[in-house]
Structure 1
Amino acid sequence: MPRRPPHEDPAPVLVTTTDALASLCERLRQEPFVTVDTEFMRERTYWPELCVVQLGGMHDTAVVDTQAEGLDLLPLGALLADESVVKVFHAARQDVEIFLLKFGAVPVPMFDTQVAAMVAGFGDQASYDSLVRALAGAAIDKAHRFSDWSARPLSPAQIAYAAADVTHLRRVYTALLDRLETENRLDWVRAEMAALDNPATYRTEPEDAWERLKPRTSNRRYLGTLRAAAAWREREAQRVNIPRQRLVRDETLLEIAASAPSDAAELARARGISDGFARGKSGVSLLAAIAEATALPEEALPEAPREKHNGPPPSPALVALLKVLLATKAEQHDVAPRLIASTEDLERLAAEPSPDVPAIHGWRRVVFGEDALALKSGRVALGVDGRKVKLIVSPG
C-alpha cells in the first residue's frame, strides 16, 4: 500500500538542467508512485509540442522546462520505463501519446484516475476539477489553463499552476486507491487500463484515416478515392507539421473523393482549395494519390464499414428496456453506465442471439451481462419497488 502524501506539499522546483533532472528522477524512482502531467501546444502543429512536464513524489514537486537549452530528457524516459514505480495520470491519453513519440514506449505501469473514478462511481469522464474538490478538498485555479506554455520565461504563476496539478493528483490517487481496494475493484481498473497500455491506441495508420470520416455510402470506388485522399492528408500534415484540418478540412476531403479530380483546375473547384494549393507541391501529390486510387481494380477497393450488427434492426423497445436495466445496475453498483456497456453493446444485445460484446465478459457480465441476457430471454422482468427499479424473476 503506498504511503500517504505528506500534509505539507513540497515547494515546486523548476528544473532546467540535465543534472537536476537526473537527480530528481533518481529520487522519484525510489517512490511507490509518481504523479505526472504535461503542458503542450498543438493548435498550430500536427505533432504536439511538449513544453512542460510536471512530476510529483512524496517529497518532490517539480516543473521540468522541456524547452530549456541543453536539457536531455533521457532520465525522464528511464523513470517512465521503471516498472517498480506507478505512473499516475488523469485522462492520460494525450500525455501518453507525447511520451510514446518522445521515448518510443508508453509509461509502465500506469494508473489513470479518470478511468478509476468511473469504476468508483464518479460518473462518466469525471473531470479533474471535480475529483480534486471531492477527494482532495481543494479547488483548481483555472487562470492559466490557456497559457502559452511555449513562451519563455515561465512565470511564477504558471509554475505554481502547473505544479498544483501533480500535487492534488497524489491525494486523488491515494483516495481512489483506498476506495477501490475496499470495494475489491482494482482488477476492474486494470482491465480498463489495457487499452491505454497498448501503443496502437495512440497511432493512426494513414491508410485507416478515412474510417474516421464515417462516409455514408457503400460505393467502393468513392471509398477508394477517400482512403487515398485521407492517407495523403495524414502523411502531408505530418510532413509539414500542421493540423490535418488546417491542411484540408474533412468536408473538403469528402467532396474531393466524390469528384475525384484529375487535374489542378478540377481540384481547385473544391471548397477550401485555392488555385495556388492545387498547382503547388501539395496539390500535385494529392492528385497523384487520387490517380493511383482511380486506377485500382475493383477487388483492391475498400469495403463499406460493416454494420454494427447483422440481420434485422433491434427492437427499440428492447433497447430501451436494456438501457433501464443498465441504469439500474450502474446505480446499484455505483459505477459509470458507459463503462459497463456502450450503446452499440445494447443494440447488439437486443438484435443478435449471441453477441460477442464486452458487456457479457469479465466483471461486466457479473454486474450487468447476466441480467441483460436473462431479461432478453424473458427469465426476468423489470418492476418498480417504491422509487427504485428492481428485477422480478419470471415464474417457471
Structure 2
Amino acid sequence: MTPITTTADLETFCAKILGQPFVAVDTEFMRETTYWPKLCLIQAATPDDEAVIDPLAPGLDLEPFLQILRDESIVKVFHAARQDVEIFHNLKAMPKPLFDTQVAAMAAGYGEQIAYDALVRNMLKIELDKSSRFTDWARRPLTENQLTYALADVTHLAALYPRLRSRLEDEGRVAWVADDMKSLSDPALYDVSPENAWRRLKPRKQSPRYLSVYRAVAEWREKTAQLRDQPRGRILKDDAIDELASQAPTDAAQMERLRSVPKGFAGSRFGPELLETIREALRDPEATAPVIEKTRSPHNPAAGSVVELLKVLLKARAEDGGVASKLIATVSDLEMIAQDDNADTPALTGWRLEAFGADALRLKRGELALVLDGSRVRVVEVRRAPRPVPQE
C-alpha cells in the first residue's frame, strides 16, 4: 500500500469523493509532548474508494481534502469524533455535516462510548488486528502492516455508517442524536483562547480575590503552553492553579512554600512572569474576577434521595428503550429535575421527555413506583385507594 504523498495525487483522490453521499474519516496523531496535536496520517474511505494521506510528506498541500471537509453536501463520518474534529478545526476546516458512529451506537443499543473495534465486532462480525495500536505515527517510513491497520479504521467505518443510519431511521431515532452530532461541529467546543481557559476548569471558591487570581493564572498557563507547544500539565498542574488562587503568593519565597507548585519554579524563567500575573490580578479583584452563577441549593432535604431514585428510573428506561442512559440524561440533569419540575434541562424536552422526563416527574409525584423483579427493576403505576365517601 502506498500513501498519498503529493498534492496532485491528493487532488485526484478528492475528485473521486465529490458527488459521494459520505466519506469516512480518521486520523493518527501525536500530542503526548506537545500542546498542539501533530497530524501524522489521514485515512479516508467512500463506498467506492479509500486512501491513506501522509500530511508529513514534503510539499504536500492538504487543501484539496480540507475542501472536502467543508463541503456540506457530503456527510463526514467519524468514530469518537472529538479529537479528530479538533485537528481539522485547527486547520480551518470544520467537518460539516458530521455523523459520529459512537454517538449513533448509543441510540442503537450498543452501550455508552463503545470502542470502534467492539462496534465492528458486533455489527460486522469482523475481528480487527490491533498489533499496530501503539505505533509512533510520526516515524517514517511506515510499514505495510501499519498502513493496513490505519486504513482499517475507515474501510469498516464506511460499512458501519449505512447500517447504523438505517437502524436509527427504522426505529425513528435519527432525531435522538441530531443535536449531539451538530454540537460536535460547534467551534465553541474547541475554543482554546487563553482568556477562557478558566472555564474549562473547576474553581472551588467564589470570592473575587480567589477568582481573579484563578482566572489570571489559568490564562497565563494557556498562553505559555501554546507559545512553547507543551502540554498544559507540563507548565503547571490544575491543582497548582487552585492553590495559587487560594494563597495568592506575591513573592518567590511565598510561592516556594506551596505544595502543588514544583520546587524551584519560583526561581525559574516562569516564576517572575507568574508572580507579576498574580500581583496584577490582586490590584483590583472586584473588577477582574469572572462572574460565576451560583448553583442553587436543593429546595428540600430529600433532593439527594430523589436523585438516587431518578438514577434507577433512568437505568430502567434506558434498558427498556435499548439506548445508553448517558444519551438521555446526565447526573446534572437528574439533580436539576430533583430540585425543580420545570428545570431547564434537555431531559425535560423533546424525545427525552417522552423516553424519561415525564416518568421522572411522575415518580416525584408518587404516581410511579420502582419494583425489583428478580434482577430487573420494573416501573409500575401506583394505584391509589379511592377516598372514602363521607357518611351523612
TM-score, structure 1 length as denominator? 0.91
The worse-fitting range, judged by mean Cα deviation, of 195-204 and 37-46 is 195-204
**Partner amino acid, structure 2, of 1:173:** Y
Measure how far apart 1:211 and its partner are: 4.1
1-structure distance, mates of 2:297, 2:58:
55
Paired with 1:169 and 1:319, the residues of 2 have a C-alpha distance of 38
Q: CA deviation at 1:112?
A: 0.1
The answer to whether 1:89 aligns with 2:78 is yes
Q: Which moved more, 1:148-157 or 1:293-302?
A: 293-302
Distance 1:85 1:59 in 2: 14
TM-superposition CA deviations, 1:221-247 (whole Å, max 9, x none): 122111111110011100111000011
User: In the alignment, what sits opposite 2:64?
Assistant: 75
Partner of 1:46: 35
**How far did 1:309 drift?**
5.0
2:340 and 2:34 mapped to 1: Cα distance?
44
Tell me which residue corresponds to 1:21: 10
Q: What's 2:149 paired with?
A: 161
Alignment of 1:225 onto 2:213: yes
Moved more, 170-179 or 69-78: 170-179
The 3-state SS of whatever aligns with 2:72 is coil
8 Å CA contact 2:41–2:137 kept in 1: the answer is yes
Residue correspondence of structure 1 range 132-281 to structure 2 within 5 A: 132-270=120-258, 271-275=260-264, 277-281=265-269
Letter in 1 for 2:17: L
SS of residue matched to 2:96: coil
Give, as a single letter, the amino acid of the residue that structure 2 aligns with 1:38.
Answer: T
Q: Output one character per residue of 1:284-313: Cα deviation in whole Å (capped at 9) or x when no partner.
A: 321221111010142542345632655445
Aligned residues: 383
Match of 2:118 among 130, 133, 140: 130
Q: Which runs of 4+ in 1 moved over 6 A?
A: none
| Alignment partner of 1:66 out of 47, 55, 60 | 55
Q: Secondary structure at the match of 2:3?
A: strand
Q: Distance in 2 between matches of 1:295 and 1:192?
A: 42
Q: What CA RMSD, in Å, does the superposition of the two structures yield over aligned residues?
A: 2.0
Classify the secondary structure of the residue corresponding to 2:53.
strand
Distance 2:71 2:301 in 1: 49
Q: Does 1:334 align with 2:361?
A: no
Question: What code does the residue aligned with 2:29 have?
Answer: F
Distance 2:373 2:245 in 1: 56
Deviation of the 1:101 alpha carbon: 0.3
Taking the aligned partners of 1:309 and 1:208, their CA distance within structure 2 comes to 26
For the 8 Å contact 2:108–2:167, the answer to whether it is kept is: yes
Residue 294 (structure 1) aligns with: 282
For the residues of structure 2 that align with 1:308 and 1:152, how far apart are their CA atoms? 55
Q: Which amino acid aligns with 2:46?
A: G
Distance, in Å, in 1 between the alignment partners of 2:341 and 2:351 is: 21
Match of 2:390 in 1: none
Ranges in structure 2 where 5+ consecutive residues have no aligned partner: 387-392
- Mapped to 1, the partners of 2:280 and 2:339 lie a distance apart of 40
Task: For 2:215 and 2:299, locate their aligned partners in 1 and report how far apart those are by CA, in whole Å.
Answer: 27
TM-superposed CA distance for 1:328, in Å, is 1.6
Partner secondary structure for residue 266 of structure 2: helix
Deviates more, 1:58-67 or 1:248-257: 248-257
Corresponding residue for residue 282 of structure 1: 270
Question: Take 2:245 and 2:335, find their aligned partners in 1: how far apart are those partners?
Answer: 31
Contact kept in structure 2, 1:220 and 1:304, CA below 8 Å: no
2:367 to 367, 375, 379: 379
Partner residue, 1:4: none
2-structure distance, mates of 1:329, 1:21: 48
Determine the C-alpha separation between the residues in 2 that align with 1:382 and 1:388: 6
Most deviating of 169-178 and 124-133: 169-178
Cα distance change on mapping 1:388 and 1:379 into 2, 3 Å: closer
Answering whether residue 24 of structure 2 is matched by residue 35 of structure 1, we say yes
The 2-side partners of 1:33 and 1:161 are apart by 21
For 1:155 and 1:308, the matched residues in 2 are separated by 57
Deviations 1:49-85 (CA, angstroms, capped at 9, x unpaired): 1010000112222111100000000001111011111
In 2, are the aligned partners of 1:33 and 1:57 still within 8 Å (CA)? yes
* Equivalences for residues 92-111 of structure 1 within 5 A: 92-102=81-91, 104-111=92-99
Who is 1:5 aligned against?
none
Comparing 211-220 and 121-130, the one that deviates more? 211-220
The 5-angstrom pairing of residues 353-368 of structure 1 reads: 353-368=341-356
